[in-house]
Amino acid sequence: MVTITLEDVLSRYWGYTSFRPLQRDAMEAILSRRDSLVVLPTGGGKSICFQAPALVGGGVGLVVSPLISLMKDQVDTLVANGIQAACYNSALSADAKTATAAGIREGRYALVYVSPERLAGEGSDSFLSLFGGPSDGAQGRPMSFVAIDEAHCISQWGHDFRPEYRQLGALRARFPGVSLHAFTATATARVRRDIMSQLALRDPLELVGSFDRPNLVYRVLPRASLKRQLQDVLARHRGQAGIIYCTSRREVDALAAWLADSGIRARPYHAGLEDADRHRHQDAFLNEDADVVVATVAFGMGIDRSDVRFVVHAGAPQSLEHYQQESGRAGRDGLEAECVLIYSGADFLKWRVMLERSGELTDARRALLRDMERYAAGVGCRHRHLVSYFGDDYSRVECGACDYCLGELESVGDAIVVARKILSCVARVGQRFGAAHVANVLCGSESEQVSARGHDRLTTFGLLRAAPVAEVRGYIEQLTAEALLRQTDEPYPVLALTEDGVALLKDASSRPGLALARQKRPTTDRLPARSRVETESWQDVDRDLFERLRGVRLQIARDRGVPPYVIFHDTTLRELARLKPTSLSALRGVYGIGARKAEQLGDAFVQEIRAHVEER
């Protein structure tokens, strides 16, 4: 009898020749029936960790997934790779449910995807009776393991807590001989402990990958003219896929309409839309009929599109966990992508007021908001900040992939002097005005609001006249993040000095090492620097051929009724456009092309490459 190995499976079905970090360990835990908790960043190859073992170990792998759209995408991709898989959920017709149940009973599937409600709610017993344990002699394939995807939903300390996930621990009693495996992309140590406890994992193997996403370029901009700032980002990504997150439905609708009027294929997405409209807009994005989705955070968890090249937050999210998860939807294919946070100090006040009204403003939530504020206003490497927050060490001197390390920010040489001017102005206006007014006074604005209050006669009037108002607002937000200033939680928030702020105002030596930064002043010919990853990923790639191959992929996807990324990821198309294989045998050595896809799809791509080469 021929023994099939993980390497065989990886090559035949996915076209990969090596494992990513921690993948083999995660797969072997499943094959050895040892419980595990696996934390791998988005794009780190998390799904394959439980998909590949199902083709080696026998039995059927049960995968718990929170969203129907996510299940469907994963099953479509598996079937396209020649793997027997199915999902069982409320979106199936009665006939489809009957057929799928029969397939499970007869052992036709290696993987079955279900929602947590299916395992914990009404009717769960009849569904679970379709499966046997590893040795109870049930008909068909016995259940060999349970993989719980997006496992952070189990924890009330996680950023997407879902009560029905808490009931999954009952699977341990129902199938005592079946191993349980929790997978997530984002989990602090506290969340990991909660997951292990709630699932009653037995001596689990805990695998935590690096939280760093080196292919992502992080930029932070103080909010000034939002539309102009968005236009700058969109100009760098013409015709590419992107997500713009807003904090209100009203802003989603307004920005989506403005983008559509500007000729950009944009769609809105939020919980206030009809279900049919939401699904239609999501499908348009997945199928490349739309390039940009403007959304609230209701959009994203179920999106498996791998070629999202930019994610913009038009407002700060409420925690770094949320930011990591949402920005992490960019560049899932491992290629370069840009993550831009456009924020103002008002964002954090808005969150505090909203959470207070809902009774959720605990000390823990306040701490999460402060951590997010420190990141937004911080001066230093963005990758280092994020990795350190999640408890990792960052070994690189510079990342080469954030605004700070790419030299787009510059330090203010006399930071203490600038800080004291701002603190003094806050004191001079009686600690009774907001950041916008203080910035106007410091910049020497001759507006009626300033002159009517006599603030044009203050000694601090015009002290920072050489700086734009947006730049001074940025300094104010940095001082707030440094706890030298605070914003009150009143309906009309005002700036006030903290004890540390008063100390610095009295004694310039009380805060050594204080740093402030500003965006470099724009010049007409200056474009943002390219990250190291972007430069390397396009090296020797024929861009014209890449675009032609995208067209082939799109046509095949439409013929098959699946999203284009189910056919091939951009990593594979770029490799084809780099190597230009003109025969099927040469095609089989390309990254991401397994035997099934080479056999079924190879001719179309080889013919396009041949035509391109001949034309050149």
**pLDDT surpassing 50 at residue 431:** yes
pTM for the predicted model, two decimal places: 0.80
Fill in the DSSP letter of residue 10. Answer: I
| Short-list 175, 208, 168, CA closest to 189 | 208
State residue 497's pLDDT score. 96
Helix (H) or strand (E) segment spanning residue 111:
strand 111-114
- Please give the pLDDT value at position 140: 55
Average pLDDT along the chain: 88
**Residue 43 vs residue 434, higher pLDDT:** 434
Q: pLDDT band for position 519 (50/70/90)?
A: confident
Question: Does the pLDDT at position 135 exceed 50?
Answer: no
Confidence band of 45 (pLDDT split at 50, 70, 90): confident
Give DSSP secondary structure letters for 230-289: HHHHHHTTTT-EEEEE-SSHHHHHHHHHHHHHTT--EEEE-TTS-HHHHHHHHHHHHTTS
Categorize the per-residue pLDDT at 491 as very low, low, confident or very high, splitting at 50, 70 and 90: low
Rounded distance between C-alpha atoms, residue 433 and residue 426, angstroms: 8
pLDDT at 137 over 50: no
Q: Quote the pLDDT of residue 136.
A: 45
Q: Are residues 216 and 338 in contact, defined by beta-carbon separation less than 8 angstroms? A: yes
If you average pLDDT over residues 568-572, what whole number do you get? 93
| Closest-CA residue to 314 (of 213, 243, 402, 241) | 243
Question: How does DSSP assign 356-398, residue by residue?
Answer: HHTT---HHHHHHHHHHHHHHH--S-HHHHHHHHTT-----S-
Give the mean pLDDT of 358-385: 87
Choose among 304, 301, 307, 354: nearest CA to 326. 301
For 153-187, what is each residue's pLDDT tens digit?
A: 888 666 567 778 888 888 888 888 899 999 998 77
- Write the DSSP assignment of 161-207 as a string of letters: --GGGGGGGHHHHHSTTSEEEEEES---HHHHHHHHHHTT-SS-EEE
pLDDT at 518: 86
The CATH architecture that domain 6-208 belongs to is 3-Layer(aba) Sandwich (3.40)
Question: Confidence band (pLDDT; 50, 70, 90) for 301?
Answer: low
Contacts 24+ apart (CB under 8 A), 270-273: 270/295, 270/296, 270/298, 270/299, 271/296, 271/298
Q: Which residue has the higher pLDDT, 440 or 346?
A: 440
527 pLDDT exceeds 70? no
CATH of domain 415-519: 1.10.10.10
Predicted pLDDT at 215 = 93
Domain 6-208 matches domain 216-405 at the CATH topology level = yes
CATH number of 216-405: 3.40.50.300
Tokens of 334: 């491992």
Q: What is the pLDDT of residue 121?
A: 64
Domain ranges of the chain: 6-208, 216-405, 415-519, 538-615
- Please state the rounded mean pLDDT for residues 248-264: 95
How many whole angstroms separate alpha carbon 286 and alpha carbon 291?
Answer: 9
Say yes or no to pLDDT of 2 above 60.
no
Residue 420 reports pLDDT greater than 50: yes
Query: What pLDDT is recorded for position 525?
Result: 47
| Residue 265 pLDDT > 60 | yes
Q: Is the pLDDT of residue 122 over 60?
A: yes
**Residue 409 pLDDT > 90:** no
pLDDT the model gives residue 524:
44
Residue 440 scores a pLDDT above 70? yes
- Pick the most confident of 9-23, 90-104, 539-553: 539-553
Tokens of 581: 């294989």
Q: CB–CB of 182/37 below 8 Å?
A: yes
As given in the structure block, the two tokens for residue 18 are 């090596």
Q: Give the separation between CA 246 and CA 372, rounded to whole angstroms.
A: 16
Does residue 120 have a pLDDT over 90?
no
Name the CATH architecture for the domain at 538-615.
Orthogonal Bundle (1.10)
Number of helical (H) and strand (E) elements in the chain, helices listed first: 27, 17
Range 589-605 burial, b when 16+ CB lie within 10 A, else e:
ebbbbbebbbeebbeeb
Average pLDDT over residues 460-478: 91
Position 423 confidence tier, pLDDT thresholds 50, 70, 90: very high
Query: Does the structure show a pLDDT above 90 at 393?
Result: no
Three-class SS state of 147? strand
What is the average per-residue pLDDT within 511-531?
A: 72
Q: What are the angstrom distances between the C-alpha of 431 and each of 268, 313, 427, 479, 522?
A: 40, 30, 5, 15, 33
